[in-house]
Structure formats: C-alpha cells, structure tokens
Structure 1
C-alpha cells in the first residue's frame, strides 16, 4: 500500500526582501488596515482607526478585507498597500 506524505511547511518565495524604513510620523499619512474578514476584527479595528485619527493625526485610514481569511492577501491588495505609509493586519479569532 502506497502512502503519500505532504510537507506542511510554508510554500512561498524565500528571497530576502529589504524592509522599508518606518515613517517618522503618521501625521497627515494614509494608513491601511487589512482584516482577515472574521467578525471579531471589526470592533478592534474600529478602535484602532479612532486612535490613529485622534491620537496620531492620521489623515486617512483605508480598510480592506481579504477575500479568504486562510490565504495570503491578493496581489492587487498588496500593490495597493505599497502606497500606504503604514499597514496594520489582524486576525479576528
């Protein structure tokens, strides 16, 4: 009897990527929030958005939800996120 063994490891491009510098300030910036789509992210991100605007002077908060909570974000979403000064991502379990 044959047995198939699967590797549960992460399948991704393993190239080293240089991280961008952190912004010195968020005042006047556009910041993104990416949710995994589960219900528990909403109250947390509502509060985070309020803090970003009121405490850190963020000009715009862009909120997006992945189409599948168990998969990586779509390429178009990653491209959009590259235009934001900062990004917050969360899981609502």
Structure 2
C-alpha cells in the first residue's frame, strides 16, 4: 500500500478549513439554517474517513478527529452568528 505524500495533508487541511468557513457562513447568514452546516460537514468530512484507509496505509482515527474538529468549528460559527442575530433583534429596554 502507498502512503499519502506530504503535500496532500496541508492541501486537505487548507481546503477543508476554507470549505468549513464558506459552508458555515452561507448556511447561517444567507439561509438562516444554523444546524445544517455542521451536519453537512460532518457527513462530507467522514467520507474520506472511510475511503482513504481503503486505498492508503493510514489510520482512520486522525481523519475522524479532523472531521469532528471542523464540525465543532462550524457549530461555533453558527452559534456566534445566531447570537449576534438574536442580540440585534431584541427590543431595547430604555
């Protein structure tokens, strides 16, 4: 079996982090669906968790860990946008 070359790992991390930001912000700001982005990211990022170990000699635990990390980041972004929107729409008690 082949081992993943070193340039693929940073590329995966850069692309996934940008993908996480874009999907999270579009889902929360444009669509106002706060939990769709974390669910989609968790499902999509776990596809490599199953597929990559079939073809390369790598473990699945690290890939699953990154998928969980990016899902939590997406959840955090969704929560921050939700709290900002909630704070904007609260009536001001003067």
Say which structure is richer in helix: 2
Higher relative contact order (CA closer than 8 Å, sequence separation 6+): 1
Say which structure is richer in strand: 1
* TM-score normalized by the length of structure 2: 0.31
